[in-house]
Structure 1
Amino acid sequence: MQGISHPVARRYARALFEEARARGQAEAIDADVAVLHESFTTSRELARVFESPVIPREKKKKIIETLFAGRLQPLTVRFLELLVEKERESLLPAVVAAYRALQDEEQGIIEAQVRTAFPLDEAGAQPLVAKLERLTGKKIRLRLQQDPSLIGGVVVRVGDTVYDGSVRQQLTALRERLRRSVTLGNGSNQS
């Protein structure tokens, strides 16, 4: 699956995003994209169908009609058919991801990837969300991941910035300070 950084996927996503807003259908198309995201997330087989160059375009269009006509807005169905016609259907998961990134940008939402040594429930995450929102000035959506190798604490990535408050990092820093002080101590004794 292509990432949201794929330039062609971003262009298609932006085209759908702008057309939805120009037609006053932003909410409806946003909801359609959520349905597509859910469909591709829950059905790896569906994603494989659209990624496959062996499956004929007409069959892919028929799948779109069967699965999505009546469920999605006509603009969204036509957009899916256009991707198939232009032989860009393999980019569909990336287009969906890029569209969702545009939605987040419009709404001032950024995603924070949070790794913790132990499971973090919603109540435990709220103070972290509040602090990150104060720090960034944006709404935060957390993506939680458990990582026992951290020993304790938390590592947060927001965009390109990493906040590492893990016990593992603190131990590494302490080890480095000790190593430097031993090296400096040994160096001063040899003078």
Structure 2
Amino acid sequence: MNGSSREALAAARERLDALTDSTSVDAATLAGELAAVTALLDREVSLRRVLTDPAQTGEAKADLAGRLLGGQVGGETADLVSGMVRSRWSQSRDLVDALEELAITAELTGAQKSGALDDVEDEVFRFGRIVTSSTELRAALTDRAATASAKTELLRSLLGGRANPVTERLVVRLVTQPRGRSLEAGLESLSRLAAARRDRVVAVVTSAVPLSDRQKQRLGDALAKLYGRRMHLNLDVDPEVLGGISVRVGDELINGTVADRLDGASRRMAG
């Protein structure tokens, strides 16, 4: 997002935090309503353009949003959306992206309050690994010919009773409303936002065998010192790495696996 959209999103995040700090606001309900508004504005291009038109006054846009949403969503959601359309957005799509982020954040805040945020983080990561390892499952979840209800039913058969309800809702929304993203990109975004709730960075750690608690603690401390922020370790076991570990933080890869060193030696010998 460019400057004005970034400022608008920052203000919206503050308003959301103020709402979810209140014990009278149900975070899951707020998230569901924000997700519904996201889906509406994602479909209705002309409407979101009107709501982000810089030629219209903020009050006029807020009044329109209030009339559209009145009776359809709760007062907290309507007020939050009205405040967002009063702001200036660089592109109309930025408003929809921001609404989607707030819906996810509201879900994660609810999980954090109930002490389930760690579980949600881990379940999103594990689900991503399952999707990566199963071409059939990925094809079923990304099939454009399949209905949203069919995909929802499939996900609930996989996650229902096995994952936290927040995880299930987030994954169902991601799969049924991809908004042009790949499934992998959407899951990665969920992981980043979950980590941000604790001001942590996500490190994907791949090793040949499971790490001990002591090894995980030492690795987490070392990475936190290196990056200057707390780290959340998503752990993956892959026997093909042979030994050592690889760590991916965002786009940066720290590779210390035996397989990588052998591959490097082979390339040097071939050269």
What TM-score, normalized by structure 1, do the two folds share? 0.55
Structure 2's unaligned 5+ residue stretches are 112-116, 141-153, 176-181, 193-201, 207-235, 242-258
- Of all paired residues, the percent bearing the same amino acid is 12
The corresponding residue for 1:66 is 67
1:99 aligns with 2:102: yes
- 1:1-191 paired onto structure 2 within 5 Å: 6=6, 8-22=8-22, 24-26=24-26, 27-87=28-88, 92-106=95-109, 107=111, 108=117, 109-110=120-121, 111-112=124-125, 118-120=135-137, 121=140, 122=154, 126=158, 139=167, 142=171, 145=182, 157=188, 158-159=191-192, 160-161=202-203, 180-181=265-266, 183-184=268-269
Greater RCO (Cα-Cα under 8 Å, separation 6 or more)? 1
Stretches of structure 1 lacking an aligned partner (at least 5 in a row): 148-155, 187-191
Q: Cα gap change, 1:43/1:176 in structure 2, threshold over 3 Å: closer, same or farther? A: farther
CA RMSD, 1 decimal: 4.6
Is residue 33–residue 77 contact of structure 2 (8 Å, CA) maintained in 1?
Answer: yes
Q: What is the deviation of 1:68?
A: 0.5
* Alignment partners' CA distance in 1, 2:19 and 2:72: 19
Of the structure 1 ranges 89-98 and 64-73, higher mean CA displacement relative to structure 2 is found in: 89-98
- Counterpart CA distance in 2 for 1:74 and 1:105 is 21
- From the CA coordinates, give the structure whose radius of gyration is larger: 1
For 1:146 and 1:71, the matched residues in 2 are separated by: 29
3-state secondary structure, aligned to 2:135: coil
Tell me whether 41-50 or 81-90 shows the greater mean CA deviation.
81-90
How many Å apart are 1:47 and its aligned residue? 2.4
- Please report how far the alpha carbon of residue 69 of structure 1 lies from its aligned counterpart in structure 2 after TM superposition: 0.9
TM-aligned CA deviation for residue 41 of structure 1: 2.6
Note the alpha carbon deviations across 1:18-66, whole angstroms, 9 max, x for none: 3254161224433321221221232233222223213444542342133
Q: Are the equivalent residues in 2 in contact too, given 1:6–1:94 (CA < 8 A)?
A: no
Instruction: Report the AA paired with residue 25 of structure 2.
Output: Q
- Amino acid in structure 2 at the alignment position of 1:72: V
User: How far apart, CA to CA, are the structure 1 residues paired with 2:69 and 2:8?
Assistant: 23
CA displacement 1:136-171 (0-9 Å, x = unmatched): xx9575556479xxxxxxxx8554445899xxxx9x
TM normalised by structure 2 equals: 0.42
Q: How many residues align?
A: 162
CA gap of 1:94–1:6, structure 2 versus 1, over 3 A, is farther
